[in-house]
Amino acid sequence: MIHTVRRAFAVAAMATVMVACGSGPEATPAPVPAPPAQTPSAPAVTLVSLQDLRASVPQFSGWTRGEITAQEGPAPSRSTHVQVTFTRGTETLSLEIADTGGDERSIESLEHMAGSSTSRTVGNGYFKGTTVATFPAVESWNTVDKLGELSVLIRRRFIINVAGAGLPDAAPMRALAEAVDTSRLR
């Protein structure tokens, strides 16, 4: 089940992009090739501890930080995740930081778009490949519903995902992602 959650998390960036900004024939990305099979001889990766992931969650000036929740995923595709919601009036930012252990299946969709020159503008917003604090990312913004999502790929292993609602623009999502202590994500 956790593997399904991790895969869904990686694919969620792409799905949110398409849902938030609208989709149609002109907004359909090329199919992503199947990932290479994981080999049983691949070295085991030591995941960042839940304590370190929790410590990477910033205080965010002007926003109220909710309770941080954390979970570990079981073998064979082990992972660690922390989640927290920040609020300011009616504005909401949801932050998730995940250590995928570098599992190709978990990062493939994000890796395909993050940091690329892909940019689509549609009637209700945009999605684009970009960078956040030198790391590749994908950003989507719906100008009508005032919601968006930003997913950042750190060292081909960690994913920072920020979803925002009720915001004036995408700037608070970017600022929160940049405030994460990425020095703990090694």
CATH of residue 70: 3.40.1000
Any domain includes 170: yes
Any domain includes 99: yes
Q: Are 146 and 20 in contact (CB under 8 A)?
A: no
What is the reported pLDDT for 21? 46
What's the CA gap between 23 and 49, in Å, rounded?
38
What's the CA gap between 149 and 163, in Å, rounded?
4
Per-residue pLDDT of the chain (186 residues; tens, 9 = 90+): 344 333 434 444 444 444 344 444 444 444 444 444 444 445 678 999 999 999 999 999 999 999 999 999 877 778 999 999 999 999 999 999 999 999 888 888 888 889 888 899 999 999 999 999 999 999 999 999 999 999 999 999 999 999 999 999 999 999 999 999 999 998
Any domain includes 34: no
**Domains of the chain: total:** 1
Any domain includes 142: yes
Any domain includes 36: no
**Residues near 176 by beta carbon (within 8 Å), at least 6 away in sequence:** 58, 60, 86, 93, 95, 162
What pTM was computed for the model? 0.78
Strands (E), the chain: 64-65, 69-73, 79-88, 91-99, 119-122, 125-132, 135-142, 147-154, 158-165
What is the reported pLDDT for 73? 85
Any domain includes 117: yes
Specify the DSSP class assigned to residue 25. G
What is the reported pLDDT for 69? 97
Any domain includes 148: yes
The CB-side HSE value for 14 (13 A sphere, CA atoms) comes to 20
What is the reported pLDDT for 43? 61
What is the reported pLDDT for 25? 40
Query: Which token pair is 171?
Result: 């700037």
- The whole domain housing 73 covers 2-25+45-184
Any domain includes 31: no
Measured in degrees and rounded to the nearest 5, phi and psi for residue 112 equal -65, -40
**How far apart, in Å, do the first and last CA atoms of the chain sit?**
25
What's the CA gap between 82 and 122, in Å, rounded?
32
